[in-house]
Each structure stands twice: as C-alpha cells, then as structure tokens.
Structure 1
Amino acid sequence: MNQASPLKTGLCAAGLFFGLTTAACNAAPPQELPEVYLTDPARLAEVQARVQAGDPALEPAVAALIEIAEETMELPMVSIADKPSTPPSGNKNDYVSLSPYWWPNPDTEDGLPYVRRDGEINPERDLYDVNKLGDFGKVVSWCGFAYYFTGDERFAEEAVKRIEHFLIDPETRMTPRMQYGQFVPGVNNGRKYGVIETLRLRWVPDAISLLEGSEAMTPEVMSGARQWFADYAIWLNTSEFGTGERDGPNNHGTWAEAQIAYYSAFAGDWDTVKEMADRVPERIAHQFEPNGEQPIEIERTKGLDYTEFNLRAMTELAVLAERVGVDLWSFQTDDGRSIRQGFDFAMPYFASEADWPYKQITPHQKKHDWYVQSLRRASIAYDDPRFEEVISKLDGITGKGIVFRDLIISLPAESE
C-alpha cells in the first residue's frame, strides 16, 4: 500500500466571524490542513481564510452550514445492529436494505416475488438500514465541515461520537461490507446494486480529516475510521458484489470506481486511486456518445437526473485523478466522447433552456441541489462562464446547495 500523499497543503486558521465566541475560534488553532479527497485543499484553505476574515459574500453559505449542522445533530444516535431481524449471516452488524424500486407482487397472495417499478421508491425501504446509513453520513459530514469553518467544538464532539458508534464500537458498528444491500423479497438476500447506497458516506472521509485538529478527535478514533474505510475499499475491489458493481456499464459502475478511489485515498492507498483513475477513459468511451448523450442513463424513467448523476461521479473521479497525475477533464476519444461533451449536451436541459426529450417522471428541479455540485466542479476545471450561467438558472437551490457551491466545492477566485 502506498502511504505517501501526492498533495499536502498548509493553513493557518484564526480570527472571529459572524458572532462566534473567542473560545470557539480558539478551539481550532493554526495547523496543517488535513488531507482531503473530494475537495481541493488549496481552494478549501482560501475559502476558510475568507470566512475567517468575515467576507460578506460567504455569510449566507456559512449561516446555512451552521443551521444544517445543528439540525443534523438532533438526529437520533442509531446503530446498524438495532434491528428486529437478523441478516442471513447471523450478524446484526451487517447492513440490510430493501431494493428501492421493487414492490409486492399484485398477482400473488403473499406478494412474492416482488416486482420492479423503475423510479418509484417503495416506502417499505424505510424499515431497514438505509436511513441509518444516511443519517450517520449527514451528521458527520455537515458537522465536520461546520467545525472546519467555525472552529466550534460542539460540531467536532458530535461527529466524533457518531464515528465511534457507527464505525468502531464492536457492539454498534457497521460491518464494512454490503452483502445484504438491496435485497428483493422472494428473489434474493442481497444484490451488488446495494453498493451504491454507501454514497451516503462519500463526504465522511473529508469531514473526518477536517476534525483532526479538534479537541474531540483522538488518534484511536482517527485510526479506527481509516481502518474501516480501508477494509471497505478492499471489499469493494475484491468481493463478488463489489467487483460486479465496479465493472457495471452505467452510473453504478462509475460510482463504485469513485467510492473505491476516495475510500482508498483516505486509507492512504494511492496506488488503488491510480488504478481507478486509469479505468475511466474506457468508461467514457463506452458511456458517452460523440454528441454527449449517455444512452444507458437516458433510457431510465428519470433520464435527466441519471445523466447528471453519472456526470457527477465522473467529476469526482476527475478531482481525485488529478492527485495521481491523470487528467480526465481533457480526455476525449478520437470521435470526441468526453466529460466535457457530456456537460455540453446536458446543460441546456439542466437550465430548462430546452425541453428534455426523454423520460423524466419527477421534476428535475428537485435534484438541483445535487446538480450544482457537478456544474461547479466543471466550472472550475474548464474555466468557462457557461457553467456559472447554468448554475444561476437552476431553480430551488436550498441551503445545502449553497453550501456545497460556495464553501465545500468553493467559489471562483475573488478576482473572477
């Protein structure tokens, strides 16, 4: 395993802002910026310095971040082991989830086997572990970034408690595998597609790293968290379900490669990050048409959402690929298939400048908080004002979207 990081950036954090107490600011002494994976360390440092200096342009995003983090702190402390039935393994620490688009069979008395209704989520899904996974990811991610920008130890303390409970304590931790994710009643005990559900954890490694300077974080918790993600990355890259997802032709495959890359990076395994980055050009060649369409994604019942969803995975892989010397942003095949062409095709539809010609059974505006992430990354990578123009046209951006755009993924430089 290659433990050397390809990028390290330093930062001094100091000062008061937006009514935080002197004690809160003193809780985050000057320190080297922790390694991060989905965020650009230099941009993150620049934005934090602007926040600490009281940049009024960032006040709405900081206020939204604090509000969201405080809301997530109210979520109950949950454990994967807390469920009424035991998985086939006999271990309640194993994650279990119902496949979202599968429903009771209307033609059988017992409803078995379940039948597929693409794009329609079965509410029975809430009875299993998916919301526990999501709540854990929310609390740690939002609190980790809130601590980084505010220095408020409340956020660090809450995040560290959740990390110990969900990833480390033998009685309450989640086993680092997805053997029983997205099971279908009457059909199977689990499917490879469950791997995509751990996207709910993808911001957790960055958030944990940003907690390293807090009073609450200990070497034992940091080491335990890194080990959990190391074990999960290995499972993803070696198990039948993990490799089955990784080799998938659609967004599931892209996201599996992305997850392997950033969990491996958090574990210090940059060789595996390079391995995943080197797989992406072939994926671009097979997933995109020369005009930028993604045939496998547009055939879904929410074709525009899935078009952006796969582009978002591509942009996150491109960010990590830069760290290992692979340029995915400018890669294109001989006939022009590329990430950039994928955006050029989709942006008129994202901005509602043209009517989406394929299926989209729910309003795509509901996903604009997510769209803004991929568009902002592309805006930074391509230095093209068209991306910011499209972002400005997105409807319904909430506090979460504002925070991702302006703080976590970062604003363009002030001179822009």
Structure 2
Amino acid sequence: MKNRIIFLIGIILLLYVKGYGQSISPITLNFEELSQLKEEDTNVKKIADAKRELVKRSNQILTNRKTYSVTYNGASLPGISKNNFISYHGYMWPNPKTKNGLPYILKDGKRNPYNEKISDRPMLEGLNRDIFQLGLAYFYTNDEKYVLWATTLLNCFFVDPKTRMEPNFNFSQVTPGKNETGGSIMEAVMFIEVLEGIQLMKSSPNFSQELSRNLNSWFGDFLGWIEESPKGKINALHKNNRGTYYTLLRCDIAMFLNDRKRATRIFKNEAYQRVIDQISNQGEMKDELRRATPLGYLKYNLKAFNELDEIGKKLGFDLFNYNGPKGESLKKAFEWLDRYKTGKLVWNYSSEGGITTPRRAMMKNEDENSVRFSVERFDNYLEILTSRSK
C-alpha cells in the first residue's frame, strides 16, 4: 500500500512542474484527472513527503548503478540465443505422476518460485521500475542526471548488440515438457510503463535522437512480431485479461511510435469487442471469476481496460460509457466491483484478503461534472492505474 501511495503522489507531483506538457505526450496517464486531484488536495505535507521519497528512491537507482539485460540472467534454452527473452509459466509445477516431472502441470494461483529464479522476468521488472521512476523524477526536478542514467539503461536493454533483447516473446512462459509453448505477451505488458517513462524524458537534451530512432525501430519490430508471428497472434484469441492486454499493448506501442492511424484502427476493431466478449450486462467478468484468485485478476483486467479507455479518449473514443448490444459495459464492471467494496454484497468467490477494489474516480457522484477528489479517495482508484501488487 505504501508503494502505491508513493506512486500516486509521485504522479501528482508532476503537475507542480511549470510549463509541462508542450513536449510531453503521455499515453496511458490522464493528467486532467490528476490535475483535479491536485486542485482539491490541501495536504501539502503528504505531497512534500512523497517528493522526498521519489527523489530518494531515484537517487538510490543512480547509486546502485544496476543495468538490466536478458543476457545477464540464468535463463537458457538449448539452441536459443541468450538475447532472447526467456521465462517459464509461473503456475506450472513438476508432474507428480511422472518420474522426470514432465510435462509440468498447472496449479492456478500457486506460483512456482523456482520458475522465477531461472527467468528473465526480473530483468524486465527492474527495467520497468527504474525507467518509470527516473522518468517521474526527471519530469518533476528537471535534473538531467536521471535522464543520463536512464539512457544507459535503455541502450543496454534495447540497443547494444551484446546485451540487447531480441524484439520477440517467442520463449515467454514456456511450459517444460510441452511443445509449442511460449509466446505469451503477459510479461511484455511491463513495456507500457517503460514507454511512459521514456515519454517523460524525451524532451531532455540528453535524450538523443539516435536513441529515439533505435527505440522506435525496436518497438516497431516488436509490434510487428505481436501482430504477424504465429505465436504473437495467438494472444488475440484469448477472451480474458490476456486478450485485453493484447489490444492495449499494441495501441500503446502505436501511440509511442506516433502512429495514431494504426492505434485508431486497433482500437476501433477490438476495444469494444473486448467489452462485449468479457463483461456481462450485470458487470461480471466470468472468465476472471473462475480463476483461483479472481479478485486479483479482476483488478488486473480492469487496469488494462482503464488504460485502454485513456488511449481511446486521446483518439476521440469513449470506451467507459459504451454499451454493447446486450448491455455489456465497462462502467457496469466498475459498479459491480464497487458494490463489494461498499459492503452491499459479500465477496464469496475466493478466500482472498479484504476487498480493496478500485472505484472509478468519476463514480463518486452520478453527475460526472461535479466529481470531487481526495487523496484517500483517489488512492483507491489508482490501484488499477499502478502495476500489479508488489
């Protein structure tokens, strides 16, 4: 919870910077709503404390001077270059019915810690955390030291031939003992915050045009892999959070590449259908409710839908207020969860902890024009704007 509050306030701090926005193009962040929060909040001490924590953590990144690369970790597969991202399905465990434990079997909701140790995922998590943190710190302080180190991290992970990652996820979430596995983009969604951090720093004179070109080339190739490769296209078939993130990630990368036409095409062709396929006319997400830990998956999927809605707004669409042919609605999904948070209904889908589900900021009052925010109120909302629980 502390990390989430610091994350929230860190973004709020961005709004205190004079003259922001002329050369910054946020993709999934909504500065208008955050600006409203800033105007309503009078708890200056909390903001000042968050500023100090933001700078402290960012300075620690500079002190640690840790770089990230898929070539650093112990992940490997026979005949596969270490420049490829390799990870193992987190919920897969050795098969107790076979001598060699193969093929691994699914234990939904129960993460295998060994799979994490031999995966490249920690490298991507580190890059995601540091780039976004440094982006926030730079945008607030205008201190170029944060950009200088961020460019080192980006060059290491995406550019340097010795350490760069190949732009594909052919070997992500592999299941030992099974053929034709890999290709899940669920770990690639961490690139969304990486790209947001880059957007916050691109106006710096120390963020070179050469680096921008290299990043555009890398993510252009990666978007091509998602849309054109057999493994990439499999993600489109999923009618749950994986399908939502497939649409969101592609829209996000297209916006990063300043290809609004492509982002518009993706959004129009897929975003509304995702609502129809996944949300009932009562607001339930039945596929997520079948999971061993449904609450976490509901929030995770709502996070994706919310960010997709933010991109849609920038393209002139309104996904939140859309109603499908049978009454399917993203707004109803928020309202459905909200009834559990307020105690109107009792959560009996799993034994997960207390209901701390997010509420859409605009849902405090029926009249969206009269919405009022508070730090505590908005903290609940930001649960779906931040990354998964850490």
Short-chain TM bin: 0.7 to 0.9
Which residue of the other structure, out of 152, 167, 172, is the alignment partner of 1:176? 167
Are 1:186 and 2:177 an aligned pair? yes
**Match of 1:79?**
69
C-alpha contact 2:226 2:233 (8 A) present in aligned 1: yes
CA distance in 1, matches of 2:23, 2:298: 34
CA distance in 1, matches of 2:323, 2:51: 38
Deviation at 1:299, TM superposition (A): 0.7
Deviation at 1:298, TM superposition (A): 0.4
Amino acid at match of 1:383: E
C-alpha contact 1:79 1:173 (8 A) present in aligned 2: yes
Using a 3 Å threshold, how does the CA distance of structure 1 residues 250 and 32 change in structure 2: closer, same or farther? same
Deviation at 1:112, TM superposition (A): 1.2
Which residue of the other structure, out of 330, 333, 336, is the alignment partner of 1:342? 333
C-alpha contact 1:61 1:403 (8 A) present in aligned 2: no
Using a 3 Å threshold, how does the CA distance of structure 1 residues 391 and 344 change in structure 2: closer, same or farther? farther
Deviation at 1:105, TM superposition (A): 1.3
SS in 2 for 1:265: helix
Which residue of the other structure, out of 39, 44, 47, is the alignment partner of 1:58? 47
Deviation at 1:403, TM superposition (A): 12
Correspondence list, 1:169-318, <5 A: 169-188=160-179, 190-192=181-183, 194-278=184-268, 279-318=270-309
CA distance in 2, matches of 1:227, 1:291: 43
CA distance in 1, matches of 2:73, 2:237: 32
CA distance in 2, matches of 1:385, 1:12: 21
CA distance in 1, matches of 2:31, 2:164: 30
C-alpha contact 1:134 1:201 (8 A) present in aligned 2: no
Are 1:142 and 2:133 an aligned pair? yes
**Match of 2:368?**
383
SS in 1 for 2:186: helix
CA distance in 2, matches of 1:328, 1:191: 31
> Which stretch of structure 1 is more off in the superposition, 74-83 or 282-291?
74-83
Which residue of the other structure, out of 37, 45, 57, is the alignment partner of 2:27? 37
| TM-score, normalised with respect to structure 2 | 0.83
CA distance in 2, matches of 1:348, 1:155: 43
Using a 3 Å threshold, how does the CA distance of structure 1 residues 47 and 228 change in structure 2: closer, same or farther? farther
Using a 3 Å threshold, how does the CA distance of structure 1 residues 387 and 340 change in structure 2: closer, same or farther? farther
1:387-409 CA distances to partner (integer Å, 9 max, x unpaired)?
Answer: 969964978x9xxx69968xx9x
Deviation at 1:87, TM superposition (A): 3.5
Deviation at 1:261, TM superposition (A): 0.5
C-alpha contact 1:258 1:317 (8 A) present in aligned 2: yes
Deviation at 1:111, TM superposition (A): 1.4
CA distance in 2, matches of 1:151, 1:387: 30
Are 1:166 and 2:157 an aligned pair? yes
CA distance in 1, matches of 2:360, 2:72: 39
1:315-368 CA distances to partner (integer Å, 9 max, x unpaired)?
Answer: 1111111222222121102432111000000113345664312124x4266xx5
Amino acid at match of 2:213: S
Correspondence list, 1:338-377, <5 A: 338-350=329-341, 354-360=345-351, 362-363=352-353, 372=358, 375-376=360-361
C-alpha contact 2:68 2:123 (8 A) present in aligned 1: yes
Percent sequence identity over aligned pairs: 23
CA distance in 1, matches of 2:39, 2:370: 25
SS in 2 for 1:195: coil
Deviation at 1:118, TM superposition (A): 0.2
Using a 3 Å threshold, how does the CA distance of structure 1 residues 337 and 45 change in structure 2: closer, same or farther? closer
Using a 3 Å threshold, how does the CA distance of structure 1 residues 294 and 49 change in structure 2: closer, same or farther? closer
CA distance in 1, matches of 2:367, 2:169: 36
CA distance in 2, matches of 1:386, 1:50: 10
CA distance in 2, matches of 1:353, 1:391: 21
Using a 3 Å threshold, how does the CA distance of structure 1 residues 83 and 135 change in structure 2: closer, same or farther? closer
**Match of 2:121?**
130
Using a 3 Å threshold, how does the CA distance of structure 1 residues 341 and 50 change in structure 2: closer, same or farther? closer
C-alpha contact 1:72 1:138 (8 A) present in aligned 2: no
Using a 3 Å threshold, how does the CA distance of structure 1 residues 404 and 262 change in structure 2: closer, same or farther? closer
C-alpha contact 1:236 1:242 (8 A) present in aligned 2: yes
Amino acid at match of 2:94: P
CA distance in 2, matches of 1:184, 1:387: 48
Which residue of the other structure, out of 125, 148, 154, is the alignment partner of 1:157? 148
C-alpha contact 1:351 1:391 (8 A) present in aligned 2: no
Which residue of the other structure, out of 105, 108, 111, is the alignment partner of 2:98? 108
Are 1:328 and 2:328 an aligned pair? no
SS in 2 for 1:200: helix
Question: What are the ranges of 5 or more consecutive residues in structure 1 without an aligned counterpart?
Answer: 1-10, 16-28, 409-416
Deviation at 1:177, TM superposition (A): 0.7
C-alpha contact 1:62 1:403 (8 A) present in aligned 2: no
SS in 1 for 2:232: helix
Using a 3 Å threshold, how does the CA distance of structure 1 residues 311 and 252 change in structure 2: closer, same or farther? same
1:206-241 CA distances to partner (integer Å, 9 max, x unpaired)?
Answer: 211211233431111122112212211121111112
Amino acid at match of 2:138: Y
SS in 2 for 1:182: strand
Using a 3 Å threshold, how does the CA distance of structure 1 residues 235 and 80 change in structure 2: closer, same or farther? same
| TM-score, normalised with respect to structure 1 | 0.78
CA distance in 1, matches of 2:79, 2:364: 46
C-alpha contact 2:74 2:119 (8 A) present in aligned 1: no
